[in-house]
């Protein structure tokens, strides 16, 4: 039995998402790039690369990881590139997408022989959280002014437009894509524009999502403007594929039944703390309710309140589901809490421990 805490990636569950992505690719003509900012655990890239076209990145490190570990087409994007990293970014990418006209012009000579794109900001998004809203007031993410972009369109061949966030509503996606066409149609119609990435945040692998309508909309968009459409699924690629396995270390009562586990929401599921959301557990039913807490010193290190059929005891194992997206990439060494190992359940049901973190890893993360 693997010692907790550890992330457990189930390839059979991952495969369900991959098959839906393959369906969209086949029926819409769109290409799919894994968004490494959401999930970058390369030990399962062997499976994912069979169903996806490549990767998209947010930094030099992610560009290199995508090129070296995933293969396929590698898109490089960053809010801002530094002078001392642009050469490596170009060397490891097939396309480079600049966030601003200023960055495009700054690196115009260095990237002259490269496929170049520019990020557009349509001013609309599906985000319920200001912190995650790419179209928030005064957003730094992309260019807003179509007339300004038109002055440099001869320097690029495509656009990236990322304005969906956790969007499981096809009607909303359709509506916002229509607004994008209204605002930027004159740019999309230019003959030198050959590709458009619609980014990630579209939860098309979720239950009951109307895939055929989605495919038809993407295909119509592609044909109208004569462009290759790219999607950048992050969460959609790995949703419900991974759990965080933990063990109960202590129980106590302080007005509520509490259980303390050998993990930490701040260290191991940080995105939930940022957005003030609860972790997920299944099953989550029974007459006994416990607040499950992490072992760090943060008073708010709380995974959530869950229901159980029996009393929890020291040594019991618990499993938080849907623990891959924006979670494994954000794990940290807060309080020096042991970093979760990484295990993979193969398609044949066998479980392989692929990575353990040690005291040396903790020491080497500091100086």
Instruction: Tally the C-alpha atoms within 13 A of residue 343's C-alpha that lie toward its C-beta.
Output: 19
- Of 296, 318, 299, 323, the residue nearest 307 (C-alpha): 318
Contact 118, 111 (CB under 8 A): no
- State pLDDT tens for residues 309-358: 999 999 999 999 999 999 999 999 999 999 999 999 999 999 999 999 99
pLDDT in the model for residue 1:
87
* pLDDT above 90 (res 96): yes
Residue pointed to by tokens 């969906």: 164
Q: pLDDT per residue over 109-165, tens digit each?
A: 999 999 999 999 999 999 999 999 999 999 999 999 999 999 999 999 999 999 999
Is it the case that residue 238 has pLDDT exceeding 90?
yes
The pLDDT tens digits for 217-236 are 999 999 999 999 999 999 99
The β-bridge partners of 46 are none
pLDDT at residue 198, rounded to an integer: 98
How far is 76 from 14, CA to CA, in rounded Å?
Answer: 25
Rounded to whole angstroms, the Cα distance separating 198 from 133 reads 15
Is 271 labelled as part of a ligand binding site? yes
Q: pLDDT tier at 205 (50, 70, 90 boundaries)?
A: very high
* Contact (CB, 8 A) for 76 and 362: no
What sign does the CA torsion over 57, 61, 63, 67 have? negative
Cα–Cα distances in angstroms (integers) from residue 216 to residues 14, 221, 223, 243, in the given order? 25, 9, 10, 34
> How much is the pLDDT for 10?
98
pTM: predicted TM-score of the whole model, two decimal places: 0.96
Find the mean pLDDT for residues 174-188: 98
Structural domains of the chain, with CATH? 11-237 (3.20.20.10), 242-323+331-365 (2.40.37.10)
Query: Strand 288-293 relative to strand 302-308: parallel, antiparallel, unpaired?
Result: antiparallel
181 labeled binding residue: no
Q: Say whether 77 sits in a helix, a strand or coil.
A: strand
Rounded Cα distance between 224 and 45, Å, is 33
Pairing outcome for strands 280-281 and 288-293: unpaired
What's the whole-number average pLDDT of the chain?
A: 97
Using 50, 70 and 90 to split pLDDT, how confident is the model at 33?
A: very high
């Amino acid at each position: 039995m693997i010692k907790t805490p550890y992330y457990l990636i189930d390839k059979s569950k991952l495969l369900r998402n991959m098959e839906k992505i393959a369906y969209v690719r086949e029926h819409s003509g769109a290409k799919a790039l894994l968004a490494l900012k959401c999930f970058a655990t390369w030990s399962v890239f062997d499976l994912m690369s069979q169903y996806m076209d490549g990767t998209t990145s947010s930094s030099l490190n992610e560009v290199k990881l995508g090129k070296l570990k995933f293969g396929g087409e590698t898109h490089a994007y960053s809010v801002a590139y530094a002078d001392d990293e642009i050469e490596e970014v170009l060397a490891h990418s097939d396309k480079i997408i600049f966030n601003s006209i200023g960055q495009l012009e700054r690196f115009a000579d260095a990237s002259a022989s490269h496929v170049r794109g520019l990020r557009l900001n349509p001013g609309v998004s599906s985000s319920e959280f200001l912190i995650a809203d790419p179209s928030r007031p005064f957003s730094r993410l992309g260019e807003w002014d179509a007339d300004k972009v038109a002055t440099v369109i001869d320097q690029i061949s495509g656009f990236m437009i990322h304005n969906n966030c956790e969007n499981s509503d096809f009607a909303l996606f359709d509506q916002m894509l229509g607004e994008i066409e209204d605002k930027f149609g004159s740019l999309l119609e230019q003959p030198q524009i050959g590709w458009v990435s619609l980014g990630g945040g579209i939860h098309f692998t979720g239950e009951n999502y109307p895939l055929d309508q989605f495919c038809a909309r993407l295909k119509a968009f592609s044909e109208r403007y004569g462009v290759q459409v790219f999607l950048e699924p992050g969460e959609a690629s790995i949703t419900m594929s991974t759990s965080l396995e933990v063990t109960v270390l202590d129980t106590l009562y302080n007005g509520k039944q509490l259980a303390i586990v050998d993990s930490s929401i701040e260290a191991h599921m940080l995105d939930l703390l940022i957005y003030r959301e609860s972790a997920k557990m299944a099953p989550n039913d029974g007459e006994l309710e416990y607040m499950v807490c992490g072992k760090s010193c943060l008073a708010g290190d709380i995974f959530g309140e869950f229901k159980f059929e029996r009393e929890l005891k020291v040594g019991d194992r618990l499993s938080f589901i849907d623990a891959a997206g924006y979670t494994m990439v954000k794990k940290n060494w807060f309080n020096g809490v042991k970093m979760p190992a990484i295990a993979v359940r193969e398609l044949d049901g066998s479980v392989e421990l692929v990575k353990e973190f040690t005291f040396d890893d903790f020491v080497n993360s500091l100086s």
